[in-house]
Amino acid sequence: MSSRRPIRPGIHTRGATEPEADALSPDLLREAFSRWASGVTVVAVRDEPHVAAITATAFTPVSIEPPLVLVCIGVNASVLPLLEPGARFAISILSEKQRRLASIFADTGPLGREYLERDGEPLVIGAPVGFACTVRDVHDGGDHSIVVARIDRLVLGDDAPPLLYCGREYRRLQ
Ligand X SMILES: Cc1cc2nc3c(=O)[nH]c(=O)nc-3n(C[C@H](O)[C@H](O)[C@H](O)COP(=O)(O)O)c2cc1C
Least distance to ligand X from the beta carbon of 112, Å?
Answer: 11
Residues 6+ apart with CB under 8 A from 154: 67, 129, 130, 131, 132
In the bound state with ligand X, the residue whose beta carbon lies nearer, of 52 and 132, is 52
Distance CA 157, CA 126 (A): 6
Hey, what amino acid is at 155? V
Distance CA 25, CA 71 (A): 24
Least distance to ligand X from the beta carbon of 13, Å?
Answer: 25
Distance CA 165, CA 31 (A): 14
List contacts with ligand X (CB under 6 A): 54-58, 72-74, 77-78, 106, 108, 165
In the bound state with ligand X, the residue whose beta carbon lies nearer, of 58 and 129, is 58
Least distance to ligand X from the beta carbon of 147, Å?
Answer: 9
Hey, what amino acid is at 91? I
Least distance to ligand X from the beta carbon of 58, Å?
Answer: 3
Least distance to ligand X from the beta carbon of 53, Å?
Answer: 7
In the bound state with ligand X, the residue whose beta carbon lies nearer, of 45 and 72, is 72
In the bound state with ligand X, the residue whose beta carbon lies nearer, of 19 and 170, is 170
In the bound state with ligand X, the residue whose beta carbon lies nearer, of 54 and 93, is 54
Q: Closest residue to ligand X, Cβ-based?
A: 58
